[in-house]
C-alpha cells in the first residue's frame, strides 16, 4: 500500500490509466476481428473500410502511448497486405 500522499495519488492515476488502456486495447481487438472477418468476405469495399477504421484506432492508441509505434506499424502492414491482396 502507498504510504505518502504522492504515492496514493500515483496509485489512483495508475488505476485510471489502466482502465483507459484496457478499453482502448479491447476496442483494437474488436476492430481487428472485424477487419479480418471483412477481409475473409467478398466485399472489397467493406474490407477496406474496416481496415481503415482499424488503422485509425491503432494510430490513436500510439498517440496516447497505449501500444508501441512499431507494434502498430506491424499490424497496419499486415492488414494492408490482406486488403491489397483482395483487389
Q: Do the beta carbons of residue 72 and residue 62 sit within 8 Å? A: yes
Inside any domain, residue 5: no
Q: Do the beta carbons of residue 2 and residue 11 sit within 8 Å? A: yes
Inside any domain, residue 20: no
| Number of domains composing the chain | 1
Inside any domain, residue 73: yes
Q: Do the beta carbons of residue 34 and residue 47 sit within 8 Å? A: no
Q: Which domain holds residue 36?
A: 27-86
What digits encode the pLDDT tens for the residues 30-87? Answer: 999 999 999 998 888 999 999 999 999 999 999 999 999 999 999 999 999 988 876 6
Task: Return the higher-pLDDT residue of 3 and 31.
Answer: 31
Inside any domain, residue 60: yes
Inside any domain, residue 39: yes
Inside any domain, residue 4: no
Inside any domain, residue 11: no
**pTM attached to this predicted model:** 0.84
Per-residue confidence (pLDDT) for residue 1, from 0 to 100: 77
Inside any domain, residue 67: yes
Cα distance between residue 72 and residue 66, in whole Å: 10
Task: Provide the grid cell at 7.
Answer: 504515492
Q: Which among 19, 40, 25 is positioned nearest to 71, based on CA atoms?
A: 25
Amino acid at each position: 500500500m502507498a504510504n505518502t500522499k504522492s504515492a496514493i495519488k500515483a496509485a489512483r492515476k495508475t488505476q485510471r490509466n489502466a482502465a483507459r488502456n484496457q478499453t482502448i486495447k479491447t476496442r483494437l481487438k474488436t476492430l481487428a476481428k472485424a477487419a479480418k472477418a471483412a477481409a475473409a468476405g467478398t466485399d472489397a469495399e467493406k474490407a477496406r473500410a474496416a481496415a481503415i477504421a482499424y488503422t485509425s484506432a491503432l494510430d490513436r492508441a500510439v498517440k496516447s502511448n497505449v501500444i508501441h509505434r512499431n507494434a502498430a506499424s506491424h499490424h497496419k502492414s499486415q492488414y494492408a497486405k490482406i486488403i491489397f491482396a483482395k483487389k
